[in-house]
Amino acid sequence: MDKMWKGIGLCLVIAIPSWFLGKMFPIIGGAVIAILVGMLLGQFIKDKKPFADGIKFTSKKILQWAVILLGFGLNLNVILKTGQESLPIIISTIATSLIISYVLCKAMNIPEKISTLVGVGSSICGGSAVAAAAPVIDADDEEVAQAISVIFFFNVVAALVFPTLGVLLGMSHASGYGFGVFAGTAVNDTSSVTACAASWDSMWNLGASTLDTAVTVKLTRTLAIIPICLGLSYLRMQAVKKEGGASKSVDVKAIFPMFILYFVLASVITTICTSMGVSADIFAPIKTTSKFFIVLAMAAIGLNTDIVKLIKSGGKPIVMGFCCWVGITVVSLVMQKFLGIW
């Protein structure tokens, strides 16, 4: 453990100011700031060996802990009650993003792991989905950094463009419900969903009605982490068996994402406690810790990322991210129109 403290400490030096900067600039978010600072700082550290163990621990284990703690922000009863109308849209947008990423992976010869992370991150919940999927498919830090960078770019574009797009499309601004569903299904990262929905509320003096709807829909999307990660785990186990032949023994415990089960357990605990009258505010510090852990892990991932290599290889994933973003946006709008939401 003594070997880890230098690396963990370095990640904290990046994560703490990034956390506060993320509060000041929510449209960007602390996680993105941390990964960018980590990449830049990493270029000036000639010998990373003394920090290697701590950086690896932070980028792998703490990232999984962040996902587990994320479960304490999910009250399944609230999500099932208020998110059910948006469920067909959520399923459609997730399917669209995954299909687009799969097709482009084959057509453009994009590395499979990056394609998976971009597809999952774009369709579910940005950095949190990438954090959950990365250990399941054994993605390295550079692949994670590339996926996060692509998703971040289109997050910012969505947060800035979607309110104007909503006006041009004639979305109702009497309650903000339609735009809230749109923001919750078509924008993936929580910070960008919040910024986008809050802008609509501000434009039409709606208090926080749009924001409440958008966040609830976003949390409903977050639940898709469970089946997606289990599915990815199954596919990986099948791939291992195929590579090793019929006699190959598969270490299920090493491949199966146990932290996803703990994520589910955390959600169940939250649901039971709130059903018994416990205030949801009691889980607020845990949710905050989860968000900080993601920032901390992103700092570690940034430190392990070769920024020059990232820029050189970023063209195709950006095209993929753009196609996923456009596909999700179009499908969300078409489904809402079909369901009569706006």
The per-residue DSSP string of 286-322 comes to HHHHHHHHHHHHHHHHHHT--HHHHHHT-HHHHHHHH
pLDDT of residue 255: 58
pLDDT of residue 168: 94
Question: Quick check: helix, strand or coil at residue 336?
Answer: helix
Q: Cβ(337)–Cβ(183) under 8 Å?
A: no
What are the tens digits of pLDDT across the range 38-68? 989 988 888 888 999 999 999 889 988 988 8
Q: How far apart are the first and last CA of the chain?
A: 55
The residues, any chain, with a CB within 8 Å of residue 333's CB and separated by 6 or more, are 169, 182, 186
pLDDT of residue 31: 84
pLDDT of residue 244: 63
One-letter amino acid for residue 37 of the chain: V
- At residue 144's C-alpha, the angle toward residues 232 and 122, to 5°, is 65
Task: Tell me the helices (H) and strands (E) count for the chain, helix number first.
Answer: 18, 0
pLDDT of residue 247: 45
Q: Cβ(294)–Cβ(31) under 8 Å?
A: yes
Q: Cβ(110)–Cβ(104) under 8 Å?
A: yes
Q: Cβ(148)–Cβ(298) under 8 Å?
A: yes
Q: Cβ(129)–Cβ(257) under 8 Å?
A: no
208: its two tokens: 């926080």
CA–CA distance, 236 with 146 (Å, rounded to integer): 21
The residues, any chain, with a CB within 8 Å of residue 293's CB and separated by 6 or more, are 62, 63, 65, 66, 69
What are the tens digits of pLDDT across the range 233-280? 888 888 877 776 544 454 555 556 688 889 889 989 999 999 999 988
pLDDT of residue 82: 63
Question: Quick check: helix, strand or coil at residue 263?
Answer: helix
pLDDT of residue 256: 63
Tell me what percent of the residues of the chain surpass a pLDDT of 90.
45
The residues, any chain, with a CB within 8 Å of residue 64's CB and separated by 6 or more, are 131, 135, 259
Q: What residues in the chain have per-residue pLDDT under 50?
A: 246-248, 250
177: its two tokens: 């419900």
pLDDT of residue 201: 92
CA–CA distance, 76 with 219 (Å, rounded to integer): 9
